[in-house]
Amino acid sequence: MKNIHNLNKDLSCDILIVGSGAGGSVAAKELTSRGKDCILLEEGSFFEMDHFNGSIKNSMLQAWRNSGFTPIVGNPSIAFGEGMCLGGGTFVNGGLIWRTPTNILKKWEKLIDGYTQNNLNDHFNLIEKNLEVKIENNQDNLNKDSQIIFDHAQKKNIKSLFVPRALKYCKRHNNCSTGCSSKGKLSVVEGYLSKVENDLRIFTNSKMIKIHAKNNKIDYVEVKNKKDNSIKLIKCNKLILACGATQTPLLLNKSFGRDVGNINMKIHLNLRLGAKFKKNIYPEKGTIFTTQIQEYLYDGVIFMSSNINKSLFASSNLKMPTDELKSYFENFDKMSNFVLQVKPESSVNMKNLFNFPILIFKLSDNDLEMIKKYLIYFSNFLFECGFEEIILPFQKHYKFNSIKKVRERVNNVKKKELEMISVHGMSSTPISKEKNHFFNNDGQSRKFNNLYCVDASILPSNIGESPQGTIMAFAHEIVKRIN
């Protein structure tokens, strides 16, 4: 990328975009191509797609916020993962690009105008073209776990689909969370930022720390150059926030206090199920899933296999004694890993305590019941597929070889015993026609009319499916409405 600079002086521009992930890259490319004078700020660094050469440790330390996972404390506590580099989450993610589920768009029609399937269709067509989205078909037959659950679902008439992903090709290197060591996956850096035709000034390692307003207009922002810790000021006519679902509301809260209101972020929860098959399925030759069970999407539940190698297996099973881990490693060719993703009604409450962000979560009883129901359902499904042993995401008593034992254990599990992570945060400052929301239907602030937002924060609720496509389609629509 030739237009990346070091921020070494105060600047001014027409439109300042902060955050270079799914939402920010759309704004930067679209507005620059309309001839606007834009600056794009990114707190993290720029890395070539294959920079980490498959090293999860190095990628987490350098390209993820908080060296991997941000703690969300509560009952149970959750680890939250976000990208922090040029491309944001799209650099470290699996590249799944789904269109917004139709039931969700229908539900949102009560809250927002002009974001129907018809309104978003052209945006999705463009996103899919720019990111070279294609349906994975598992023709190489390497993702055996995906194929096994797909075939069984077909037999039982359960809806299962091959997934669409942003990639030129997939060489099954199995390390999407590090970028992509074969450079096959496309982030928004390849799909959007590197295709900007007019001048776009990009500043990496540049963290916006405060927004300043004058007479109900944004005037300038303070930016910290993370290389030398100097503070620079950038004056702008319009400010577009795209810092992601945690950072955007926290920055607004830090700059404008109570005007932003109570911040509640919606998330998806991922529960990992380990499973041992009766025959070798060679998990390390496959990659992130190629199929997904979507029969229960409208309940907010999807199920898929996940990429796994020995270090990922070990790091997600730190509870295991060494002997047990060793015995799984000896049988690793039979192992597989699945993800049950659920859309909880519970949300994450965010506070700035003396400028230190605190994220708090309390799983509701309804959510616990839904999780229990689907853990039992999919454990049974896996046993039917021919898996002989299942490792459930519990801190103790997690290994099962019959559905009877799964049922007994799951029915008595406590919230605090659940091991869950989340990599999808959204709807923390949702756009709405209702006047009490900070951002209006056009993604524009009700208080400062030259302030906009285009990241995951603005989605009206959680959607139950991978959100990148929806975030980008909304960003396209909002940017279209900016003069």
Where does this chain bind ligand FAD (CB under 6 A)?
18-24, 41-44, 81-85, 88-90, 92-96, 177, 207-208, 242-245, 247, 251, 423-424, 455-456, 466-469, 471
Element (H, E) at 402: none
Nearer to ligand FAD, 265 or 406 (CB): 265
* Cβ distance to ligand FAD smaller for residue 308 or 423: 423
Q: How far apart are the first and last CA of the chain?
A: 28
For ligand FAD, which is the closer residue by CB, 28 or 413? Answer: 28
Q: What span, in angstroms and rounded, lies between the C-alpha atoms of 264 and 246?
A: 10
Query: Which residue(s) pair with 16 in the sheet?
Result: 39, 239
- Closest contact distance (angstroms) between CB of 325 and ligand FAD is 23
Instruction: Output the smallest distance, CB 188 to ligand FAD, in A.
Output: 8
Smaller CB separation from ligand FAD, 94 or 430: 94
Q: Name the DSSP class of 194.
A: G
Given a contact cutoff of 8 angstroms between Cβ atoms, the answer to whether 52 and 83 are in contact is no
Nearer to ligand FAD, 42 or 128 (CB): 42
CA gap 85, 258 in Å, rounded: 29
Closest to 240 (Cα-Cα) out of 211, 201, 267: 211
In the complex, what is the shortest distance from the CB of residue 465 to ligand FAD, in angstroms, rounded to a whole number?
8
Distance of CA 302 to the CA centre of its chain: 15
Token duo for residue 108: 């949102």
Q: How far is the CB of 280 from ligand FAD (least distance, A)?
A: 27
| Smaller CB separation from ligand FAD, 90 or 444 | 90
We find the least distance from the C-beta atom of residue 50 to ligand FAD, in angstroms, to be 17
Reported as half-sphere exposure (CB side, CA atoms, 13 A), residue 460 has a value of 20
Question: Which of 191/469 has CB closer to ligand FAD?
Answer: 469
Residues in contact with 464: Cβ distance below 8 Å, sequence separation at least 6, in sequence order? 101, 104, 268, 297, 298, 300, 301, 302, 343
**Nearest CB to ligand FAD, comparing residues 83 and 277:** 83
Q: How far is the CB of 22 from ligand FAD (least distance, A)?
A: 3
Query: Do the strands 78-83 and 38-41 form a parallel or antiparallel pair, or are they unpaired?
Result: unpaired
Residue 237: both structure tokens together: 């006519």
Chain residue whose CB lies nearest ligand FAD? 21
Measured from the CB of residue 328, what is the shortest distance to ligand FAD in angstroms? 23
User: Which residue has 């597929």 as its token pair?
Assistant: 385
Residue 223 C-beta: closest distance to ligand FAD, Å: 7
Residue 293 has φ and ψ, to the nearest 5°, of -85, 120
Please report how close the Cβ of residue 199 comes to ligand FAD at its closest, in angstroms: 20
The helix or strand, by DSSP H or E, that contains position 191, with its residue range, turns out to be helix 188-191
Closer to ligand FAD by Cβ: residue 44 or 274: 44
Residue 294: phi and psi, rounded to 5, are: -115, 10
Residues 120, 123: Cα–Cα separation, whole Å: 5
| Rounded-to-integer distance, Cα 124 and Cα 201, Å | 26
Q: State which residue, 428 or 444, has the beta carbon closest to ligand FAD.
A: 428
Find the shortest distance in angstroms from Cβ 466 to ligand FAD.
3
Neighbours of 285 (CB within 10 A): 14
Toward ligand FAD, which CB reaches closer, 58 or 380?
58
> Rounded to the nearest whole angstrom, what is the least distance from the CB of residue 20 to ligand FAD in the complex?
5
Q: Taking the alpha carbons of 8, 13, 16, 19 in that order, is the dihedral positive or negative?
A: negative
Give the separation between CA 21 and CA 93, rounded to whole angstroms.
11
